[in-house]
Every structure is written in structure tokens, then in C-alpha cells.
Amino acid sequence: MARILVIEDDLRIAELLRVPIVAAWRRGDVVPNDHPLYLGMAGHGAPPTVLERLRGADALLVLGCRLNEVTTYGYEIPAPGTRWAHVDLEPRGGRAGLRPPDLALAADARAFLRAALNRLANGVLDAAVADARAARNAADRAAFEAASVVEAGDWTGPGVHPGRVVATLRRLLPEAAILTTDAGNFAGWAARGFRFRRPGTFLGPTSGAMGYAVPAAVAAALIHRDRPVVALVGDGGMAMTMAELETAVRERVRPIVVVFDNERYGMIRMHQDAGRSRGIATDLGPVDFAAVGRAMGGRGVRIETDDAFGPALRDALAADRPTVLHLVVDRRWVSVNEHPFASR
């Protein structure tokens, strides 16, 4: 409840000041993503419009965020010339790679927002400034929406189109569904194309730890037995913690695990290729993850085409056991920015 109140106050202050909101890395549910002032989640997979807007900001108000390497794009943000204030229980006076804030305030985010709203209750913008900001925000939101399309491209296989998988999740999952994600390039499609509509619906590691999604989904399903829970994980991360499916079966919860399988540690290999080094220890052998799901006492479905995913997801949502949806992914789908249609 406290988190919901903070989010409501976040929106009120943004609306009063006519300023946009950008979520920190893996905090995409901080405000409803359909709000006109929401411009996306910073970090891996974000549309380029997010970084462009952050680079061009004259000021940033950072609330309850530690500004890690991913959120700051390698400590590029806040950009030179951008004034910024940091409000947190432990605000940073400066850290490796990040210049100190112009204003650091040790405060609970909700208490700060309430005090700020009281100060701003009578308004702070004249009509001309308010209109100019509203026009800019509308243009920024339109650019964000256009840059967030992930399902484009006439893909016929082999395997699934990751963006279409995310578009299907976005269409079929109810508002209360909880999404967990693992580390890996596959997560970029969800970071860009999924839309969170309420707080408390997204769990993901901000440290890049692999193997998080499945146990996080089991935990979320144990706490919220009445809500759908979907884990997004690569084949590498799945192999690290897939034994937790047995826990889900034993505890009678029914998370859905969507495995993006390209038989590779994709992000690590991408960095190796970018560094012009030879690929080392990044190839993985074939694993029948659908059979793993069944062996653990749950359900398992292997999916090789886009058309098969929607019906399989509907069946999983209605099932009384955990389900593994094993997606075959061609290796040409390197990342949300590097794929068969990236240059077209």
C-alpha cells in the first residue's frame, strides 16, 4: 500500500510540473506505463528515445534510485550540464564514475513527495511554460511509442519471433499478472515492448544475476496464489535454477516459465563478438526444457512457431500446475537492437 501511495504522489508531482517520468532499470512498474508522462525504462533494451531524453534533460529529480551502471548507461547519465537532485534514505554524495548530485537529501521518498506537493499546491508554472512542456511531453511520448514496437518484421522461422512473443504476453496477460525476468539479451524485448499497468507486477535482478527468474516466479506465486505469474528466462538461466519447478509442484502453485532457447549464452557471446575476441564457452547443447517441466510434475510445451504461442499461453493460464513453454529461438535474434530486421 505504501508503494502505491508513493507512485500516486510521483504522478501528481510530475503532472504539476509537466515533466516526464523515466523508470530505473528493472523498475518498469514504478508507474502505469500507459500514463502520458511515462517515457520508458532506462537501461538494456530501452528504446533509444529514453537515452536521448535523459541526455537532453536540464535537470533530473532522482527518487529512491541508486543510479547503477545500467540505469546510467555506463555512468553517462546525468550528463554534463544536467543539474540533479538525489532523494533517498542514503543519497549518494558521489561514487565511482558518477559525479556528486547538486542536491542530496536523506529522506523517505513518500515524505519528500508529500512535502513537495504541499509546496507546489498553488502551482509553479505560468501558462506559456505549461503549454510548452505539455507539447514537448506529447511529442516525447509519441516518439517513445513508435520506438517501442518489437513485433515488426515478416519472420517465418525457424523458431519464434521474440518480439511477437512479448506482444502476445502484453495482449493476453491480465493487469494483475506478475512478470519476472532473468539476465540475458532475450529480456530486452520485454523491457522495450511490455507494458506494466500497476505497481508490484515486475521482478528482475538489477545486478545482472542469472538464474533469478524461476525462483522469483515461484516465490511470487506462493505469495499471490490468485494471480498469474510468468517467468521470462533464457536457456542458460533456466539451466541454473530449473529445479525450483519441483518446489512449485510440491507447493501447488502454477507459475508459467517461458524459456527463450537459442542454445547459447547470448549476451556474453555478443560482448565477445563486439570485442573482436573469439567466442569462448558460450555455446550450449540442446536441452528439452518442456520434458524437464513434465519430469518435475508440471506441464511442458515446445513451441517452434509464433502462431503456437498464444494458444499455449492460454492453456498455461488455465492449468492447475506449473507450465514450461519452451521457445525455439534462432541465433540471429541476438538482441532487441541486433536481429534479422535491424538494418531494414
Q: Examine the domain organization and report whether 183 and 125 are in the same domain.
A: no
Q: For every one of its 344 residues, what pLDDT tens digit does the chain have, with 9 covering 90 and above? A: 345 556 788 899 999 999 999 999 999 999 999 999 999 999 999 999 999 999 999 999 999 888 889 999 999 999 999 999 999 988 875 566 788 999 999 999 899 999 999 988 777 778 888 899 999 999 999 999 999 999 998 888 899 999 999 999 999 999 999 999 999 999 999 999 999 999 999 999 988 889 999 999 999 999 999 999 999 999 999 999 999 999 999 999 999 999 999 988 878 787 788 877 778 888 889 999 999 999 999 999 999 999 999 999 999 999 999 999 999 999 998 889 888 877 54
Asked whether the whole model's pTM tops 0.85, one would answer yes
| DSSP characters over 224-280 | -TTS-EEEEEEHHHHHHHTTHHHHHHHTT---EEEEEE-SB-HHHHHHHHHTTPPP-
Domain that holds residue 255: 162-328
CA-to-CA distance for 18 and 131, rounded, in angstroms? 9
DSSP state of 214: H
* Same domain, residue pair 129 and 178: no
Domains identified in the chain, total number: 2
Instruction: State how far Cα 322 lies from the chain centre.
Output: 23
pLDDT at 2: 42
Taking the C-alpha atoms of residue 162 and residue 227, their distance in angstroms, rounded to an integer, is 24
Q: Are 279 and 273 in contact (CB under 8 A)?
A: yes
Residue 340 in domain:
no
pLDDT at 344: 44
- Cα separation, 141 vs 135, in Å, equals 10
Assess whether 318 and 284 both reside in one domain: yes
- Judge if 135 and 205 occupy the same domain: no
pLDDT in tens, 224-254: 999 999 999 999 999 999 999 999 999 999 9
- Clarify whether residues 29 and 137 are in a common domain: yes
Cell 514537448 maps to which residue? 136
